[in-house]
Amino acid sequence: MRIGLVIYGSLNTLSGGYLYDRKLVDFLRQQGDTVEVISLPWRNYAAHLLDNVTFRLPPGLDVLIQDELNHPSLLAANRRKHPYPVIGLVHHLRCSEQRPAWQNRFYRWVERQYLRAVDAFIFNSQTTRQVVGTVARQEKPFLVAYPPTDRFGAGLNQAEVSTRAKVSPLRIVFLGNVIPRKGLHTLLAALSLLGKTAPVFLDVIGSLTAEPRYARAMQQQAGDLGISSRVRFHGPLDNTPLVEQLTHAHVLAVPSSYEGFGIVYLEGMAFGLPAIGTTAGAAAEIIEDGKTGFLIAPDDPAALAARLERLAADRTLLTHLSLNALERYRLQPKWEQTAEQIRQFLAKTVREFSLS
């Protein structure tokens, strides 16, 4: 098949959504498909809406996949008659994020126009599928295809996880771009509630340039709360440096205000890290509260502090959750299985579109 993929910026961007897109492109090319990546420049939302004046769907394809992140740039192009199916790859909707209600009403309206103009969907979770259904209110062909979670292979074994659980101090890892939605401010506030001398340390791993003002504010917040000696900002890490950090951590905490899936929780579980997420979004599809980690309400540092304090004090509980997390990771379908389902879905959509 001749396949196009529309994204913003670079396919090598370090985030869960871009990892999904990148791994999908790699798989399709390995199967002999031709994949053209159409990259639009990152700008502000208003500038993206102006793309509708000039952007046209590329010719010479059998099917076009569009990362839904690009929705503001694609409204007009998708409404024009096109000779192949257009498939929206939805990680999560912009209007699902926490912001003033009037802004989300606007984003919801724009996204509804986009969702109604595509021919089919690939969703990264059941939660995302359900949310899109409430916004677009249209039945179209879809596939729920969970993100790739096995980039670290088998991860750690049970003996390594059990031994590490007994080691003090408790080491927390935050893994994600340092942006407001990921909730680092909540995690820092929780850490401060444990007291200045509590034997708990935090490693923050993720881009400090995605939203520089917020990243600077988080570094300032750590200082203002008197916990900067227990918090280390690493910036983005990948491959061996990232594996080393995950190997030596005890728990992964990313208290996001919303996650369309939360691949990071499963990646942490490969290393036997119980995950702490929130009840907003799809984290509950991965984290079983009290078994493989904890779910708290968004923006609740007191609840988060209580969970961390409990894990620091009760290493038997930490061991139990760590081993459960490792088992949860191993139950996740392999990416090759999921990617092959996507490829079959693309082929089926192409066939049905040609007959319509």
pLDDT score of 239: 87
Q: For residue range 312-322, what is the model confidence (pLDDT) as tens digits?
A: 999 999 999 99
Location of structure tokens 């918090």:
231
pLDDT score of 345: 98
Global pTM? 0.82
Location of structure tokens 């596939």:
143
Helix, strand, coil proportions of the chain in percent (round to 5)? 50, 15, 35
CATH numbers and ranges of domains, the chain = 2-149+334-355 (3.40.50.2000), 158-331 (3.40.50.2000)
pLDDT score of 148: 83
pLDDT score of 197: 60
| Structure-token pair, residue 249 | 């951590």
Question: Which of these, 252, 275, 259, lies nearest to 204 by C-alpha position?
Answer: 252
Question: Which of these, 41, 68, 34, 222, lies nearest to 142 by C-alpha position?
Answer: 68
Strands 63-67, 293-296: pairing kind = unpaired
Q: What are the backbone angles phi and psi of residue 204, rounded to the nearest 5°? A: -100, 115
Cβ contacts of residue 276 below 8 Å, gap of 6+? Answer: 251, 252, 253, 254, 255, 287, 293, 294, 295, 296, 304, 307, 308
Q: For residue range 145-199, what is the model confidence (pLDDT) as tens digits?
A: 998 888 888 789 999 999 999 999 999 999 999 999 999 999 999 999 997 667 8
- As separate numbers, helices (DSSP H) first and strands (DSSP E) second, the chain gives 13, 12
Residues of the chain with pLDDT under 70: 196-197
Question: Which of these, 356, 354, 336, 345, lies nearest to 120 by C-alpha position?
Answer: 345
Location of structure tokens 């992964």:
252
pLDDT score of 138: 78
Supply the DSSP string of 67-103, one letter for each residue: EGGGHHHHHHHHHS--SS-EEEEES--GGGS-S-HHH
Do 282 and 128 form a contact (C-beta atoms < 8 A)? Answer: yes
Euclidean distance between CA atoms 44 and 41, whole angstroms: 10
Task: Tell me the β-bridge partners of 259.
Answer: 281
